[in-house]
Amino acid sequence: MLKQVSVYAENTKGKMLAITTVLADNSINILGSVTNDSAEYGIVRMIVSDPENARKVLSENGFICKLTDVIGVEVQDEVGNLNKLLKALNDANISVNYLYLSYNRESGCPIMVLHTPDAREVENSLKSKGFILC
Protein backbone atom coordinates (compact mmCIF):
# COMPACT_ATOMS: atom_id res chain seq x y z
CA MET A 1 0.00 0.00 0.00
CA LEU A 2 1.21 3.48 -0.85
CA LYS A 3 0.94 6.57 1.32
CA GLN A 4 -0.33 9.65 -0.47
CA VAL A 5 0.35 13.17 0.78
CA SER A 6 -2.64 15.48 0.34
CA VAL A 7 -1.92 19.18 0.64
CA TYR A 8 -4.73 21.72 1.01
CA ALA A 9 -3.63 25.03 -0.44
CA GLU A 10 -5.07 28.38 -1.40
CA ASN A 11 -5.34 29.02 -5.13
CA THR A 12 -2.82 31.84 -5.17
CA LYS A 13 0.13 32.65 -7.37
CA GLY A 14 3.26 30.79 -6.31
CA LYS A 15 1.57 28.33 -3.94
CA MET A 16 2.57 25.25 -5.93
CA LEU A 17 6.10 26.61 -6.16
CA ALA A 18 6.13 26.98 -2.37
CA ILE A 19 5.07 23.34 -1.96
CA THR A 20 7.66 22.01 -4.40
CA THR A 21 10.36 24.22 -2.85
CA VAL A 22 9.75 22.73 0.60
CA LEU A 23 9.94 19.23 -0.86
CA ALA A 24 13.05 19.95 -2.93
CA ASP A 25 14.81 21.63 0.01
CA ASN A 26 14.23 18.41 1.99
CA SER A 27 15.37 16.07 -0.84
CA ILE A 28 11.86 14.63 -1.31
CA ASN A 29 11.09 13.48 -4.85
CA ILE A 30 7.58 13.79 -6.31
CA LEU A 31 6.82 10.49 -8.07
CA GLY A 32 3.28 11.30 -9.19
CA SER A 33 0.67 13.97 -8.51
CA VAL A 34 -2.71 15.37 -9.36
CA THR A 35 -4.19 18.73 -8.46
CA ASN A 36 -7.88 19.42 -8.04
CA ASP A 37 -9.02 22.98 -7.52
CA SER A 38 -12.04 25.02 -6.63
CA ALA A 39 -12.51 28.77 -6.65
CA GLU A 40 -10.43 29.44 -3.53
CA TYR A 41 -8.63 26.23 -2.51
CA GLY A 42 -7.11 23.19 -4.13
CA ILE A 43 -5.95 19.75 -3.11
CA VAL A 44 -2.56 18.56 -4.32
CA ARG A 45 -2.33 14.76 -4.04
CA MET A 46 1.16 13.31 -4.37
CA ILE A 47 3.11 10.11 -4.17
CA VAL A 48 6.54 11.11 -2.87
CA SER A 49 9.78 9.38 -1.95
CA ASP A 50 9.33 10.03 1.80
CA PRO A 51 5.65 10.63 2.68
CA GLU A 52 6.08 10.87 6.47
CA ASN A 53 8.83 13.47 6.17
CA ALA A 54 6.89 15.33 3.45
CA ARG A 55 3.88 15.66 5.75
CA LYS A 56 6.13 16.83 8.57
CA VAL A 57 8.07 19.48 6.64
CA LEU A 58 5.01 20.76 4.78
CA SER A 59 3.11 21.10 8.07
CA GLU A 60 6.08 22.93 9.62
CA ASN A 61 5.88 25.36 6.69
CA GLY A 62 2.22 26.17 7.29
CA PHE A 63 0.52 23.76 4.90
CA ILE A 64 -2.47 21.70 5.94
CA CYS A 65 -1.76 18.14 4.86
CA LYS A 66 -2.53 14.53 5.64
CA LEU A 67 -1.47 11.03 4.66
CA THR A 68 -3.92 8.68 2.97
CA ASP A 69 -3.64 5.01 2.02
CA VAL A 70 -3.88 4.50 -1.73
CA ILE A 71 -3.24 1.56 -4.02
CA GLY A 72 -0.59 1.53 -6.72
CA VAL A 73 -1.21 -0.90 -9.57
CA GLU A 74 1.50 -1.46 -12.15
CA VAL A 75 0.12 -1.46 -15.69
CA GLN A 76 1.89 -2.00 -18.97
CA ASP A 77 1.91 0.96 -21.34
CA GLU A 78 -0.49 -0.67 -23.80
CA VAL A 79 -3.88 0.20 -25.21
CA GLY A 80 -6.71 -1.04 -22.99
CA ASN A 81 -4.79 -1.78 -19.79
CA LEU A 82 -6.54 0.90 -17.74
CA ASN A 83 -9.82 -0.43 -19.10
CA LYS A 84 -8.89 -3.96 -17.91
CA LEU A 85 -8.07 -2.65 -14.44
CA LEU A 86 -11.30 -0.67 -14.18
CA LYS A 87 -13.32 -3.64 -15.46
CA ALA A 88 -11.78 -5.90 -12.80
CA LEU A 89 -12.71 -3.35 -10.13
CA ASN A 90 -16.22 -2.95 -11.52
CA ASP A 91 -16.71 -6.73 -11.68
CA ALA A 92 -15.75 -6.90 -7.98
CA ASN A 93 -18.26 -4.11 -7.22
CA ILE A 94 -15.46 -1.74 -6.18
CA SER A 95 -15.83 1.98 -6.73
CA VAL A 96 -12.88 4.27 -7.36
CA ASN A 97 -13.00 7.75 -5.82
CA TYR A 98 -10.16 9.06 -7.97
CA LEU A 99 -7.07 7.90 -9.82
CA TYR A 100 -3.94 9.34 -11.35
CA LEU A 101 -0.75 8.17 -12.95
CA SER A 102 2.68 7.69 -11.45
CA TYR A 103 5.72 5.79 -12.69
CA ASN A 104 7.77 2.89 -11.32
CA ARG A 105 11.37 3.94 -11.83
CA GLU A 106 12.61 0.37 -11.18
CA SER A 107 10.41 -1.52 -13.66
CA GLY A 108 9.85 1.33 -16.10
CA CYS A 109 6.08 0.75 -15.99
CA PRO A 110 3.29 3.23 -15.32
CA ILE A 111 1.49 2.93 -11.99
CA MET A 112 -2.17 3.78 -11.61
CA VAL A 113 -2.73 5.27 -8.17
CA LEU A 114 -6.25 4.56 -6.92
CA HIS A 115 -8.21 5.76 -3.93
CA THR A 116 -11.02 3.42 -2.93
CA PRO A 117 -13.24 3.13 0.15
CA ASP A 118 -11.47 0.01 1.50
CA ALA A 119 -7.90 -0.12 0.24
CA ARG A 120 -6.89 -3.33 2.04
CA GLU A 121 -9.84 -5.31 0.62
CA VAL A 122 -9.24 -3.90 -2.86
CA GLU A 123 -5.56 -4.83 -2.71
CA ASN A 124 -6.47 -8.45 -1.95
CA SER A 125 -9.02 -8.51 -4.77
CA LEU A 126 -6.55 -7.14 -7.32
CA LYS A 127 -3.77 -9.51 -6.23
CA SER A 128 -6.13 -12.45 -6.66
CA LYS A 129 -6.82 -11.27 -10.22
CA GLY A 130 -3.09 -11.21 -11.05
CA PHE A 131 -2.43 -7.47 -10.90
CA ILE A 132 0.98 -6.29 -9.70
CA LEU A 133 0.72 -3.90 -6.75
CA CYS A 134 3.35 -1.43 -5.62
If you average pLDDT over every residue of the chain, what do you get? 92
Task: Report pLDDT for 103.
Answer: 83
What average pLDDT does this structure show over 1-28? 95
The band of 72, judged by pLDDT with boundaries at 50, 70 and 90, is: very high
C-alpha 73: how far from its chain's center? 11
Question: Domains of the chain (ranges plus CATH)?
Answer: 2-67 (3.30.2130.10), 70-133 (3.30.2130.10)
**Phi then psi dihedrals of residue 53, to 5 deg:** -70, -35
